Structure 1
Amino acid sequence: MSKTVEFYFDVGSPASYLAYTQLPKICADTGARLIYMPMLLGGVFKATGNASPAMIPAKGRYMFQDLDRYAKRYGVPLKFNPHFPINTLILMRAITGMQLHHPERFLAFTDCLFNALWVDGRSLDEPATVATVLSEHGFNPEEVLALSNDEAVKTALKENTETAVKRGVFGAPSMFIDNQLFFGQDRLDFVEEALR
């Protein structure tokens, strides 16, 4: 039976973006199934007492240099977002809503947000910018806003986040193979090893 990788992520995390660019190929190469698990990183931080490494200036500077090294290794674009950190509550609700109600557009939608944040450096804290980005990519901003205000969607994101914390998640990205946790985009070699 083929293995699965459960990928807990938040678009506000540049490390999640890098893992997101690499996991589909790793799963394709190993015959594994990739399961996307949107969660709210702010909720995880609050529940676990953790915080973004960027909150410690020296660590934050190092983290972005290190992520840049990985982006070059992976051959993907990465630009530090001058608006970081971003409040992703509405974005992650919208992603969850797409996954639940429009699964055929889920990846295109998630791509759109990850790229707006970590390739184009857009300010997705601003509703007008979000609306512009969505329109540019063929999404209806009003429909997306309605999705993110849907009670079932709010509940699903909350439950994903609570489940992540119960399973030992303290940051993003976090990947599970069976019940084994792999934290960080710099652990993808271990993810691939476990799948093989």
Structure 2
Amino acid sequence: MKTITCYLDFISPYAYLAFEVLPKHLMGVSHRMVYKPVLFAGMLKHHGQLGPAEIAGKREWTYRQVLWQAKQLGTPLDMPQSHPFNPLALLRLAVACSVDGEPNRYVCEALFKHVWQGGAAADDVARLQTLTQQLAPQRSVDAPDVKEQLKANTEEAIARGAFGVPTFCVDDKVFWGLDALPMMRAYLDEDQWFDSAWDAAASIQQGVKR
């Protein structure tokens, strides 16, 4: 049985869509699923990048694409009142709902729907209070160990090769994004392509550096 670790940030519409369709892609596969909240902004800072919603042109395309993908997948998706927003409160709430920083699927689903269904402000204080009461976290969201766990999750993801969300790690393999789910399923099904092509792709020389 394989362990699949999903590194996610509720700020990402792609993470939301991947989360929603994940069970379909894992149907019939014996596995253990682990969800770990991470700070996407921390990953971007580590790699010296801007987020897609911070780049003119790419921002508009991202929103149009995810709305189209949601339509194609039959998954309800409403853009929040503003985006990007500060997701720290949501991430800490998710971490606080477990003793080990690994919230269950019910918790993650509630947080994703808080952001991506209904079109309200994801960081509205009153809504956050209601959500916190609903989830009844085991620890205080402001506890130092909760903040440290979120930081540790983010550092762990980066150390494993993650550069965005959602990222799925299985063994030493890193699968990034909604569209990587079929590829991950192929690996879980022991597709022989991975015996040679995976490492060969990483050996291609970089011709130009900027």
Return the TM-score normalized by structure 1: 0.86
**SS of corresponding position for 1:36:** strand
State the AA in 1 paired with 2:17: L
* 1:163 to partner: Cα distance: 1.0
Alignment-derived partner of residue 195 in structure 1: 188
Higher RCO structure, 1 or 2 (CA under 8 Å, sep 6+): 1
Q: CA RMSD in A?
A: 2.1
Partner residue, 1:80: 79
> What's the counterpart of residue 183 of structure 1?
176
- What secondary structure sits across from 1:73 in the alignment? helix
Q: Secondary structure at the match of 2:123?
A: coil
Q: Alignment partner of 1:76: what SS? A: coil
The 2-side partners of 1:151 and 1:86 are apart by 22
TM-score (norm 2): 0.81
CA distance in 1, matches of 2:12, 2:84: 9
Where does residue 92 of structure 2 map in the other structure? 93
Find the counterpart in structure 1 of residue 68 from structure 2: 69
Larger radius of gyration: 2
- Superposed, 1:145-160 pairs within 5 Å as 147-160=140-153
Return closer, same or farther for 1:122/1:53 CA change in 2, 3 Å cut-off: same
| Count of aligned positions | 189
Between the aligned residues of both structures, percent identity stands at 31
Which consecutive residues of structure 2, in runs of 5 or more, have no partner in the other structure? Answer: 190-210
1:17-166 equivalences under 5 Å are 17-100=16-99, 106-135=104-133, 138-140=134-136, 147-166=140-159
2:83 is paired with a residue of what secondary structure? coil
Alpha carbons of 1:66 and 1:29: their partners in 2 closer, same or farther (altered >3 Å)? Answer: farther
- Write 1 or 2 for the structure with the bigger share of helix: 1
- 1:60-102 deviations in whole A, cap 9, x for unaligned? 2212222123212322111122311121112111101113279
In the TM superposition, residue 43 of structure 1 has moved relative to its aligned partner by: 1.4
2:204 is aligned to none
Query: What is the alpha-carbon distance in structure 2 between the residues aligned to residue 101 and residue 60 of structure 1?
Result: 34
